[in-house]
Structure 1
């Protein structure tokens, strides 16, 4: 008896999330899967409202085009599940004879995948549930790094270089440019900006502030003032979730999202105003916002390829009848070329946890990242994507 597959994209989009989607589709197709391959339109929304699209009919050309298309091709949705939702999802999966269930996402999404796996077991429904990691924040445990992080890291490090070249265009410039990155509890993205440090020109100063280490305004202002007197530019990188010694957010004027989490953002504006008021130094700020997670033209080829292969390996786990697991990346220990293998980890060991930057990877005195961090992050940003263009603009593919 044949059965069908459901693929869901969840959480914030990335530049490479569609590669995992197509990796799953290609993995099933290459193994002569004879059932229907469905995609849930709008993530969990599609599951709850039975809004699916067939991915089985995608041509090889359409699948290939999706590999250089950023954003979630199936659509995504943030929603806090309740018990009734889980019951509805199992009913929908049964009705449509879904036996393979692939859930692409980050921390919260892996929790949803586990909830669906648990609900299916409780209902006595035979369902294979595989989590496929995705997160630009890189805070998911069970995997050396998450697809999406490498491309965002490359975008941010490149942005630092671009900003630096702009700043040194002005003779005797000694201004401050603040770059705000995403990063609610972790500083993996802010830290990635350190990859540009060795290439900065014009004697510029790079300061990086991450949520894992308390932020001290007085020390920051002192460093900015010293650089200003020495006619040096400063690029100040701040993760949106940086906190004071007491754990309070530096910028705590907050609203809340659908999951009850504070909506962060605005710390760069706060820092600019404080620097100008207290140090009398001209400052400007910029937020990378969704650009940092949606730029395919600056995507890492390593990131793209790993995202795709994770989809392939997710299918292999499903065929081997593993369920309630996430497929992850394991970095191979080597003094030579960077390489990864693919592993499985129980979802129960992933949910409710976050991966933080090791304390000894951050230089608290200089407020920048140590060589251990750079050695970790540098291989992930390697390689360039060649994105097809038409009339000077990228050609992207839609499926919904």
Structure 2
């Protein structure tokens, strides 16, 4: 097979993103392909500035270690692509005889891959453009779930369970604890905390997601009632929860990022202030921040294996002559046993679009996730990672 390959990692890192990269490399090295495998150092920044790493020479041991290394080993960069950028990228790909282009990222990244593929086609440059899904937010359209989500969900549910065990240490306690998760427009991550619900505990769990308007007064009434009943309250809030007007509840205190989006985070502090001012009840906040996307020791083995397999599948689809597609997973459930099939969806169907938590998977009266939601998430958090340690700490692998 003629030409070279290019792998780019884009958007926010995940605990398993490197598995997809290694999956692509392993599949290529097991094929008749004899060209170079380039990695763009620093994501799209490396691509625009022709900063490439040759990945063919990564040893088996190096690739193996990368599979338990969190973060984007090739590096990543948030950048709003212009038409001139797309033109330059295609020119660079042509100059380096890149005929297979793999873009690992979320819905915004699929939009970039789509633009690159369309421009290459318009100027008559033959190249296979394959999108490889990655998102802890689980908001990619066209796939049952996104690699990265299962591990983040497992981390959050475990963390909430740990916190509840700590709270249960005190026989008489009526504390309010707010836990903030990522989730700009969707509540997949906040919802995953529902897996940590304990039926017979002395706590109530209230979950608030961006898909359903946040009702402050109702929240205040529920936490006050639990306080009077000598019960703890755990509030799970996605960073992007909105009021009935569709406005982020602390929008007036936020700035904008390089992509023109609100820099979210801090909703837990805003809610803490509102609760303490209205009820006088002392409230604490916990932000999982980037830990939810970077913890490999609490990663889901199912997620790790699927991220790797989806990378291998990306190469197989390129070998088959596919282009302008994203690799996707279709859930199978035969006799109650979970598995996935790998397929492809047109980038047109997923680029720039968002997948929301279905309305029927959330109970707005109880502020809780339904059994349907839990049944959906539970299979993809299964399995544990055995991360090799040195000196009591994980041994990670770097590429750059």
Give the TM-score of the pair, scaled to structure 2: 0.98
Checking the alignment, whether the CA contact within 8 Å between 1:164 and 1:200 is kept in structure 2 is no
Offset of 1:112 from its aligned partner? Answer: 0.3
CA distance in 1, matches of 2:399, 2:175: 46
Kindly report which structure 2 residues correspond to 1:277-356, keeping only aligned pairs within 5 A, or say none. Answer: 277-356=277-356
Checking the alignment, whether the CA contact within 8 Å between 2:130 and 2:318 is kept in structure 1 is yes
Kindly report which structure 2 residues correspond to 1:116-155, keeping only aligned pairs within 5 A, or say none. Answer: 116-155=116-155
Name the structure 2 match of 1:377: 377
Post-superposition CA distance 1:276-307 (Å, at most 9, x none):
11011111001111000000000000000000
Name the structure 2 match of 1:206: 205
Offset of 1:171 from its aligned partner? Answer: 2.9
Name the structure 1 match of 2:156: 156
Offset of 1:274 from its aligned partner? Answer: 0.9
Offset of 1:232 from its aligned partner? Answer: 0.6
The alignment partner of 1:263 has SS state of coil
Kindly report which structure 2 residues correspond to 1:1-400, keeping only aligned pairs within 5 A, or say none. Answer: 2-197=2-197, 199=198, 202-252=201-251, 253-400=253-400
Post-superposition CA distance 1:307-345 (Å, at most 9, x none):
000001000100001000000010014341111000100
| Runs of 4+ off more than 6 Å | none
Post-superposition CA distance 1:250-286 (Å, at most 9, x none):
1111111111111111100011111111011111001
Checking the alignment, whether the CA contact within 8 Å between 2:168 and 2:202 is kept in structure 1 is no
Offset of 1:129 from its aligned partner? Answer: 0.1
Pairwise CA RMSD of aligned residues?
0.9
Q: 1:200 to 1:40 in 2, by over 3 A?
A: farther
Offset of 1:48 from its aligned partner? Answer: 0.5
CA distance in 1, matches of 2:333, 2:376: 12
The alignment partner of 1:302 has SS state of helix
Unpaired segments ≥5 residues, structure 2: none
Checking the alignment, whether the CA contact within 8 Å between 1:24 and 1:311 is kept in structure 2 is yes
Unpaired segments ≥5 residues, structure 1: none
Post-superposition CA distance 1:38-73 (Å, at most 9, x none):
100000011100000010000000000000000000
CA distance in 2, matches of 1:32, 1:75: 28
CA distance in 1, matches of 2:199, 2:45: 45
CA distance in 2, matches of 1:309, 1:58: 19
CA distance in 2, matches of 1:271, 1:55: 47
Offset of 1:219 from its aligned partner? Answer: 0.4
The alignment partner of 1:378 has SS state of helix
Checking the alignment, whether the CA contact within 8 Å between 2:100 and 2:318 is kept in structure 1 is yes
Post-superposition CA distance 1:63-119 (Å, at most 9, x none):
000000000000000111111111111111111110000000001000000000011
The alignment partner of 1:152 has SS state of helix
Checking the alignment, whether the CA contact within 8 Å between 1:168 and 1:201 is kept in structure 2 is no
How many residue pairs are counted as aligned between the two chains?
399
Checking the alignment, whether the CA contact within 8 Å between 1:141 and 1:355 is kept in structure 2 is yes
CA distance in 2, matches of 1:363, 1:311: 36
Post-superposition CA distance 1:212-267 (Å, at most 9, x none):
00100110011101110111111100000000111111111111111111111110
Checking the alignment, whether the CA contact within 8 Å between 2:4 and 2:38 is kept in structure 1 is yes
CA distance in 2, matches of 1:275, 1:392: 41
Segment of structure 1 superposing worse, 173-182 or 335-344:
335-344
CA distance in 1, matches of 2:358, 2:171: 39
